[in-house]
Amino acid sequence: MSIENIFVLGAGAIGSVYGALLSKKRNVTLIGKKAHVETLRAHGLKLTGEITQTFYLKADTKISEIPPNTLILLTTKAQDSVRAINQIKPILRTDTVILVLQNGLGNEEIIKQLVGEKVEVFRGLTMMASEFLEPGKVRVWKGETLLAKSKTANEAALLFNSCGMQTRILENIREEIWRKLILNCVINPLTAIFCVRNCEIISEDLKWIRHQIVKECIEVAKAEGVNLEINLDELDRKIRDYTNFSSMCQDIIKGKRTEIDFLNSKVVELGQKHRIPTPVNYTLACLIKFLEERNVGFRG
Ligand code: KPL
């Protein structure tokens, strides 16, 4: 495949950043919510933070037609991917490629089941952070992009790197998916519950909880055939470097559903399968579910 067109399906904070940077070299269309799309069309996309630039690129609320040689970056929240993919399923072509760039475990398997063999689906992970400030405005913190080895991964990595995104291909992405999952299982619920920036959870008072989350995840990963060695102090240092509000914290603030089912709840589910207790992950998942329900209740 030679990537000519790119759709970013789920142009919230992180999707908008990827779309903006890739528009330096390719024809990119951001697919997002109406208010964001209208602002992008009228005033462009303003990135602030570690990248300060305004990008003028195409934007729409849905994909009506998929041209040949299209790469679709799936950046919706994990819980929205089935709906998003079902909408475009009838117009997918055999030369369309889907890159699943989301948080969570098991996402690409769901997409593969939906689209079948005819479409190449591969997994990516982003270590970038972003905040959706208002329609048309996103703050960004740079970070690496990791791509699973697949037919289109080489071409995608070359393109991403040429657009200024530090990108690597991994022979075996499974271990990195777990590492990112663990980072999210620690950061996302704690920041969402306390409504604080990621670096703020590096408090001595939360140390036992942070480390217990990791220990439970490591046990479950092992039972799933992934042996991880994680240095807890190093992980704490990594978290201290993130000064943004996590995606889950942003979701809770906005009264939206979160990715908890693909993060801590997924670890609990797999723990049950292997009879491994995961009480701390379970407690956090319950607290997030409570916040989600309360939000939905308030919205009526
Ligand atoms: O993936 C993220 C998220 O917010 O969902 C991190 C890397 C934790 C950045 O906040």
Residue 111 vs residues 94, 104, 127, 171: alpha-carbon distances, Å: 15, 13, 22, 21
For atom 10 of ligand 1, the residue with the nearest CA is 246
DSSP strands (E only) in 45-144: 45-49, 53-55, 58-60, 70-74, 97-100, 120-126, 129-134, 137-141
Identify the pLDDT of residue 299: 62
Are 124 and 145 spatial neighbours (Cβ–Cβ below 8 Å)? yes
Tell me which CATH code domain 174-299 carries.
1.10.1040.10
Q: What residues pair up with 46 in beta bridges, in sequence order?
A: 54, 137
Identify the pLDDT of residue 137: 98
List the chain residues with pLDDT less than 50.
none
Superfamily the domain 5-170 falls into:
NAD(P)-binding Rossmann-like Domain (3.40.50.720)
Domains 5-170 and 174-299 are alike in CATH topology: no
Domain edges within the chain = 5-170, 174-299
State the amino acid at position 105 in one-letter form: L
Cα–ligand 1 centroid distance for 200 (angstroms): 14
Pocket test for ligand 1, best of 14, 103, 251 (most atoms within 8 A of CB): 103
Structure token pair of residue 95 = 């030369």
Identify the pLDDT of residue 223: 98
Identify the pLDDT of residue 298: 64
Identify the pLDDT of residue 1: 75
Burial class of residue 83 (count of CB atoms within 10 Å of its CB; 0-12, 13-18, 19+)? exposed
Identify the pLDDT of residue 141: 97
In the block, residue with structure tokens 């604080």: 196
Identify the pLDDT of residue 7: 98
Share of the chain above pLDDT 90, in %: 97
Catalytic residue status for 180: yes
Longest CA–CA span in the chain (Å) reads 54
Cα–ligand 1 centroid distance for 90 (angstroms): 32
Instruction: Catalytic residue, from 180, 207, 215, 273: name it.
Output: 180
In the block, residue with structure tokens 């092992």: 222
Q: Which atom of ligand 1 is nearest to the CA of 249?
A: 4
